[in-house]
Amino acid sequence: KAGVTQTPRYLIKTRGQQVTLSCSPISGHRSVSWYQQTPGQGLQFLFEYFSETQRNKGNFPGRFSGRQFSNSRSEMNVSTLELGDSALYLCASSLAGPGQGTGELFFGEGSRLTVL
């Protein structure tokens, strides 16, 4: 069974641009969560999607958005990039939704974004 796939793995953008990151969950998994990881702030929760609906949201500005498609694939978008958005963005999938299952997450390798 294929794992969680994130694309692209690496990308470089300049301030003010926007970026879209993609995540394909493990087949059969319906929940996708996104995390931002930086050396200073550690692992921070962005949002969680289940059945195409955002179920939980972290404390990030509105420049950060996401969506989930009917096939459970998810994308996140960051608009008007700032230097501080440079980070490793991790996607994780799980079999069940909020309040269901055990909460075990399966992570992708991440997308490393550098903002210049």
Partner 1 sequence: AQSVTQLDSQVPVFEEAPVELRCNYSSSVSVYLFWYVQYPNQGLQLLLKYLSGSTLVKGINGFEAEFNKSQTSFHLRKPSVHISDTAEYFCAVAGGYQKVTFGTGTKLQVIP
Q: Which residues bind partner 1 (CB under 8 A)?
A: 4, 6, 33, 35, 42-43, 45, 48, 56, 58, 90, 92, 98-99, 102-110, 112
Residue whose CB is less far from partner 1, 79 or 86: 86
Min CB(16)–partner 1 separation in Å: 27
The count of other CB atoms within 10 Å of the CB of residue 33 is 26
- C-beta of 60 vs 107, nearer to partner 1: 107
Least separation in angstroms between CB 29 and partner 1: 14
Q: Which residue in 20, 47, 39 sits closest to 86, CA to CA?
A: 39
Closest to partner 1 by CB, 16 or 98 = 98
End-to-end CA distance of the chain: give it in Å, rounded.
Answer: 37
**Smallest distance, partner 1 to C-beta of residue 42, A:** 5
Name the DSSP class of 5.
Answer: E
Task: Find, among 100, 2, 109, the residue nearest to 51 by Cα.
Answer: 100
Dihedral sign from CA coordinates of 95, 57, 9, 87: negative
Assigned token pair, 102: 């055990």
CB nearer to partner 1: give 16 or 101: 101
Minimum separation from the CB atom of position 109 to partner 1 (A) = 5
